[in-house]
A and B are shown apart, each in its own frame.
Chain A
Amino acid sequence: MKALTWHGTKDVRVENVDDPEIINPRDAIIKVTSTAICGSDLHLYDGVIPGMKPGDVLGHEFMGEVIETGSGSTLKKGQRVVVPFTISCGGCFHCHVEQYSACENSNPAEKQDMSATLYGQPMSALFGYSHLTGGYSGGQAEYVRVPFSDVGPIVVPDHLDDDKVLFLSDILPTGWMAAENADIQPDDTVAVWGCGPVGLFAIQSAIVMGAAKVIAIDHYPHRLELAKKLGAEVIDFRGTDVREALMEMSGGLGVDAVIDAVGMEAHGFAVDNMIDIVKQKVGVGADRASALKQALLAVRFGGKVSIPGVYGGMTDKFPLGALMEKGLQIRSGQTHVQKYTKPLLEKIEDGTLDTTFLISHRLPLGEAVKGYKNFKQEQDTWTKVVLKPGMETISENA
């Protein structure tokens, strides 16, 4: 089959790899119809995530048709399903309490050690996101082996196009959980750092949850425009003092809830990266967490902090005093996708949520390399790239 494979920094290729097959009873094989490039894929592209091996198939936002099922799968051939990016078994303690992204059983035993060393306990598995999270082949491919297919994939009705439901795989639940983690109350003013896909969906979700005012912070004009269309007020941090503006826009109180949809994933998970960060007392290491640091100062005393933006290592010059003295509630983490797919599908069906506005480009899988390049270099206008394995390739060398 054809798949987008990783070979090194800024070196991804579309090439032929072996077709996947059913290995465990609960597996299913999905024929991919739509698969998106995620902002976090760019960090693999930039080569800053350790635990990658040449030939790894990327992609963790995908959907398609069930073409084969193991004896323990509850799916049926021919069903259209959206697959969560988090691989969750449904049987462990964390799955039982709906903390699916902390599943204890999806990451193969011998691959759990590295993240356990970094974080105290091992990470769960994700599709197409390094061997730190299991080394599972991802969704930017014609076919995917989906483990625990009785727990993860959600069957979608035929009258909803791929473009309407694809983002149930990651960024829509991630944006929704980000807003939920901000514990939004009707009179709240909410500030969101970053108007990428997750930030935009967090804004949309915060408005649906009844926030009195949502303020979006970014510097890309097109992305700020999208935030405005969703109903947010916007701040361009290049021309405005964000802290002062937020104080004024919240009536001098400070904002009730802050959402950091920026993250500093580029620092990576590696121990040497972390040591570098510690070494770089001033500079890149300190700057990269600037969104979160700013958010901690902008939030009011007793306010709420939600962190969907991905961080992997450590940072210095962290405003620990503000964090303690202000009496904040902090919630964070990878998304418990399986908890949200069903209620959010209902909100898509009844028209409460629309996700199609985000898609700027649709390309055949054969042009995935072009998709990566432009998503990276033209962030203002290439807001979201969806790859369609079934679409005919127009130019192979784009």
Chain B
Amino acid sequence: MSNRTTQAAGVLVGLGLTAGGVALASLARRHANASRDSAPGYTARSGHGEFDVSGRTVTIRKPRTELFDFWRDFTNLVPVMENVESIEMLDKTSGRAAWTIKAPLGRTVRVETTIVSEEANELIAWRSVEGSEIEAEGRVMFKDAPGDRGTRVTLIVAYKPPAGAAGKAVAKLFLREPEVQTRHDLKRLKMLMETGEIATSAMRKENTRAAKQENAA
């Protein structure tokens, strides 16, 4: 075992990762060396094994309840998530949802997720069900920001790059820069919630990013 692998293994153990998935809860909380550092786990310099993990926080000037309710109905997320073509809520109570994700050459990949943990107005965590084309986990947390600044929304997502050919195609698009995607998606969510619209500098409707994506698909 190389030094690097040993280190990585150490981090994984420290984070309480399991073979079946990433324990996002611990990633959300702190580094392995929590005694010295209060930063969230996803800001760690070392990797997270076979999963590609990214996390990001934005402050949105809206109450926690409004943001939680918006997110809990995953179908609301379509306009803010650029790589998602559609989201279908299969069962509202359990939070089962089918995500159709855009892939190169006009193809799509379907991922079915179910809510694995939920605390009203605080957190929603979901995970792909067995048999999905890619393995993914996500967790969104809502905390009051100081004073009247609204809510701090933290999104952490983890994907496992899949093995098959379809998976590789998705990885190329979807997993290339999940960190960038997470960042942009959260910015668009903030725009939509704070301003009621998503900023575009286009002069005409057919030139907006959304319209171009639609045409390319």
Tally of B interface residues using CB under 8 Å: 27
Within 8 A of A (CB), among B182-204: 183-185, 187-188, 190-191, 194-204
Residues of B within 8 A of A24 (CB): 197-200
Residues of B within 8 A of A26 (CB): 195-197
Interface contact B199-A108, CB-CB below 8 Å: yes
A221 interface contact, C-beta 8 A: no
Residues of A within 8 A of B203 (CB): 17-21, 137, 145
Residues of A within 8 A of B184 (CB): 109-110
| Min CB–CB distance B121 → chain A (angstroms) | 21
Interface contact A105-B191, CB-CB below 8 Å: yes
A136 interface contact, C-beta 8 A: yes
A237 interface contact, C-beta 8 A: no
Give bound CA distance, A135 to B199, whole Å.
Answer: 11
Partner of A108, one of B185, B190, B201, B204: B201
A212 interface contact, C-beta 8 A: no
Residues of A within 8 A of B194 (CB): 89, 91-92, 104-105
| Min CB–CB distance A340 → chain B (angstroms) | 22
B208 interface contact, C-beta 8 A: yes
Interface contact A93-B199, CB-CB below 8 Å: no
| Min CB–CB distance A226 → chain B (angstroms) | 36
Interface contact A112-B195, CB-CB below 8 Å: no
Given contacts A21-B203, A125-B199, A134-B201, contact A110 B209 (CB under 8 A): yes
Within 8 A of B (CB), among A98-125: 104-113, 125
B36 interface contact, C-beta 8 A: no
Of all chain B residues, which has the CB nearest A116? Answer: B183
Give bound CA distance, A131 to B198, whole Å.
Answer: 17
Given contacts A92-B61, A110-B209, contact A125 B197 (CB under 8 A): no
Interface contact B61-A21, CB-CB below 8 Å: no
Partner of A105, one of B150, B180, B183, B190: B190
Give bound CA distance, A108 to B207, whole Å.
Answer: 13
A302 interface contact, C-beta 8 A: no
Using an 8 Å CB-CB cutoff, how does the interface string of A224-259 with B read, 1 for contact, 0 for none?
000000000000000000000000000000000000
A96 interface contact, C-beta 8 A: yes
Interface contact B149-A112, CB-CB below 8 Å: no
Interface contact B204-A91, CB-CB below 8 Å: no
Given contacts A23-B204, A93-B149, contact A134 B199 (CB under 8 A): yes
Residues of B within 8 A of A92 (CB): 61, 190, 194-195
B59 interface contact, C-beta 8 A: yes
Of all chain A residues, which has the CB nearest B185? Answer: A109
B205 interface contact, C-beta 8 A: yes
Interface contact A23-B61, CB-CB below 8 Å: no
Residues of A within 8 A of B201 (CB): 108, 111, 125, 131, 134-137
Give bound CA distance, A20 to B188, whole Å.
Answer: 23
Give bound CA distance, A20 to B200, whole Å.
Answer: 13
| Min CB–CB distance B130 → chain A (angstroms) | 33
Interface contact A108-B200, CB-CB below 8 Å: yes
Interface contact A91-B200, CB-CB below 8 Å: no
Given contacts A93-B149, A109-B187, A112-B187, contact A23 B195 (CB under 8 A): no
A390 interface contact, C-beta 8 A: no
Using an 8 Å CB-CB cutoff, how does the interface string of A13-50 with B read, 1 for contact, 0 for none?
00001111101111000000000000000000000000
Residues of A within 8 A of B198 (CB): 24, 108-109
Residues of B within 8 A of A109 (CB): 183-185, 187-188, 191, 198-199
| Min CB–CB distance A396 → chain B (angstroms) | 25
Interface contact A23-B208, CB-CB below 8 Å: yes
Residues of A within 8 A of B185 (CB): 109
Residues of B within 8 A of A18 (CB): 203-204
Give bound CA distance, A96 to B61, whole Å.
Answer: 9
Centre residue among A26, A90, A109, A134 by max chain B CB count within 10 A: A109
Interface contact B209-A108, CB-CB below 8 Å: yes
Given contacts A23-B204, A110-B184, contact A147 B196 (CB under 8 A): no
Interface contact B197-A25, CB-CB below 8 Å: yes
A210 interface contact, C-beta 8 A: no
Interface contact A23-B191, CB-CB below 8 Å: no
Using an 8 Å CB-CB cutoff, how does the interface string of B13-40 with A read, 1 for contact, 0 for none?
0000000000000000000000000000
Give bound CA distance, A137 to B204, whole Å.
Answer: 11
Of all chain B residues, which has the CB nearest A92? Answer: B194
Centre residue among B148, B191, B200, B203 by max chain A CB count within 10 A: B203
| Min CB–CB distance A110 → chain B (angstroms) | 6
| Min CB–CB distance B53 → chain A (angstroms) | 20
Shortest beta-carbon contacts, A-B, top 4: A109-B187, A91-B194, A24-B197, A109-B184
Q: Offer 29 A-B interface pairs, CB within 8 angstroms, sorted by A.
A: A18-B204, A19-B203, A20-B203, A23-B205, A23-B208, A24-B197, A26-B196, A26-B197, A90-B195, A92-B61, A92-B190, A92-B194, A93-B59, A93-B149, A93-B150, A104-B194, A105-B190, A105-B194, A105-B195, A105-B199, A106-B199, A109-B185, A110-B184, A111-B201, A112-B187, A134-B201, A137-B203, A145-B203, A147-B199
Residues in chain B within 8 A of chain A (CB atoms): 59, 61, 148-150, 180, 183-185, 187-188, 190-191, 194-205, 208-209
- Given A23-B200, A109-B183, A109-B184, 5 more pairs with CB closer than 8 A: A20-B203, A93-B61, A108-B200, A109-B187, A111-B201
